[in-house]
Chain A
């Protein structure tokens, strides 16, 4: 119960702070964000877009872990958990793609320009799509669980290439690319402390939200199966 209240408070704070706090040249009070050259007002998307992309990868990690658990234990409940993790993952992946594309229209002038980051999020979307396509093609439950677990592990080992390696060595438009001198790399954090703090609060809030949704999701599927068995 307490963490639901915590989530509510954090989310409200992030929404208000992320949208309403002004961006100024030289921040003097705690509720002002610094001006980042090349980004300006567009920089605020970091509070909402980056967490969705982060959750895409977290969902991937979860389905990989539960796939691994399934292969060890052959317990179908683990497969349900991996399934729900991926269901949420594809939602957050679409959100990250769409918010990124809308942002790109204003920042770069086009919805889609095959920047390395856009390529990677598109590849993640393809992996999710392929995973669900594989699942829908198999009738038997055990076989489906095994093969989709194996596929999610194979897919997960390629994710670091998309998320961490390619965007860092290829030239691109996204903040944090290899040739970005004005606003990146993101890992160096040209944000000030307040912005950084709100960014991390946002990450934490979105992660709690994800785990809550995941919890409800897999419990409802397990209950549904239990009811179907009894009738």
Chain B
């Protein structure tokens, strides 16, 4: 199963690299979003709290514009039935999840670098906490986005519906991650952030479990 989902992921990456449509569009989206924020800030010095919030706003919206492609493109190209034939639902979900994880980490590393370059308030004082938040936050984001993307693909690829459905599901994760990012800027020690960290990790575990349980029903619909 792992080798099959690995192959599926490689196939997605290859077909993505052939056109580079999603990556180009996403990088441009990030640049546009960040420049809009920078224009609106102007010469103001903004608080670290606000920087943390804006950071996760850009992460959320770039995830919303990029991560639905994994399933929507299969429906558009009409290759869903082929996937039905060659693999079990679990395998397909794993493959798509791997692909979305790679994409999420890729775009969020770009966002983080840009924020570090352009925002004065973005000074990480507790690097290990930031790294752990970043990793678990991205995993949670990828999992929830993937399962909602599969619902969207079946509901007729309604683009506007995707952020609407994902936002309430992602809200506990995003709120906690904003809090953790503020902790990173303040230089709070790891022990003091343990509660918030536990929420993020348990969110990831709950979402991955429920996604694997429910994907069967979505995929066979």
Using CB atoms and an 8 Å cutoff, list the residues of chain A in contact with chain B. 71, 119, 123-124, 126-127, 129-130, 133-134, 137-138, 142-143, 146-147, 149-151, 153-155, 157-158, 161-162, 165-166, 169-170
Partner of B168, one of A127, A153, A165: A127
Smallest Cβ-Cβ distance to A150: which chain B residue: B214
Docked complex Cα distance between A204 and B211 (Å): 35
> Which B residues are in CB contact (< 8 Å) with A130?
164-165, 167-168
Docked complex Cα distance between A135 and B155 (Å): 9
Given the contacts A150-B218, A161-B199, A166 and B151 also touching, CB distance less than 8 Å: no
Docked complex Cα distance between A123 and B166 (Å): 11
Given the contacts A134-B155, A143-B221, A161-B203, A153 and B172 also touching, CB distance less than 8 Å: no
Partner of B217, one of A138, A150, A155, A157: A150
Docked complex Cα distance between A170 and B199 (Å): 12
B161 touches A133 (CB 8 A): yes
Main secondary structure of the interface of A (DSSP, over half): helix
Using CB atoms and an 8 Å cutoff, list the residues of chain B in contact with chain A. 147-148, 151, 154-156, 158, 161, 164-165, 167-169, 171-172, 175-176, 179, 195-196, 199, 203, 206-207, 210-211, 214, 217-218, 221
A138 touches B206 (CB 8 A): no
B199 touches A157 (CB 8 A): no
B151 touches A134 (CB 8 A): yes
Partner of B206, one of A134, A137, A147, A157: A157
B168 touches A123 (CB 8 A): yes
A-B contact list, 24 entries, CB within 8 Å: A123-B171, A129-B164, A130-B164, A133-B161, A133-B165, A137-B161, A142-B221, A143-B154, A147-B154, A150-B151, A150-B214, A150-B217, A151-B165, A153-B210, A154-B210, A155-B168, A155-B169, A157-B206, A158-B206, A161-B172, A161-B199, A166-B175, A169-B196, A169-B199
Query: Closest approach, in angstroms, between the C-beta of A146 and any C-beta of chain B?
Result: 5
> Which A residues are in CB contact (< 8 Å) with B199?
161, 165-166, 169
Given the contacts A143-B221, A169-B195, A158 and B151 also touching, CB distance less than 8 Å: no
Smallest Cβ-Cβ distance to B199: which chain A residue: A165
With A153-B210, A155-B169 given, name 20 new contacts (CB 8 A): A123-B168, A126-B171, A133-B164, A137-B155, A138-B156, A143-B154, A143-B221, A146-B221, A147-B154, A150-B217, A150-B218, A151-B151, A154-B211, A157-B210, A158-B203, A162-B171, A165-B172, A166-B172, A169-B195, A170-B179
B169 touches A154 (CB 8 A): yes
Docked complex Cα distance between A155 and B214 (Å): 12
Smallest Cβ-Cβ distance to A138: which chain B residue: B155
Partner of B156, one of A129, A137, A154, A169: A137
B168 touches A134 (CB 8 A): no
Given the contacts A134-B165, A166-B175, A153 and B214 also touching, CB distance less than 8 Å: yes
Docked complex Cα distance between A166 and B195 (Å): 10
Docked complex Cα distance between A119 and B161 (Å): 21
A147 touches B214 (CB 8 A): no
Smallest Cβ-Cβ distance to B221: which chain A residue: A146
> Which A residues are in CB contact (< 8 Å) with B148?
154
Docked complex Cα distance between A146 and B219 (Å): 10
B175 touches A147 (CB 8 A): no
Query: Closest approach, in angstroms, between the C-beta of A80 and any C-beta of chain B?
Result: 18
Docked complex Cα distance between A126 and B168 (Å): 6
Docked complex Cα distance between A143 and B158 (Å): 15
Docked complex Cα distance between A155 and B159 (Å): 20
Docked complex Cα distance between A175 and B167 (Å): 27
Docked complex Cα distance between A123 and B155 (Å): 23
> Which B residues are in CB contact (< 8 Å) with A155?
168-169
> Which B residues are in CB contact (< 8 Å) with A127?
168-169
Docked complex Cα distance between A126 and B163 (Å): 11
Smallest Cβ-Cβ distance to B171: which chain A residue: A123
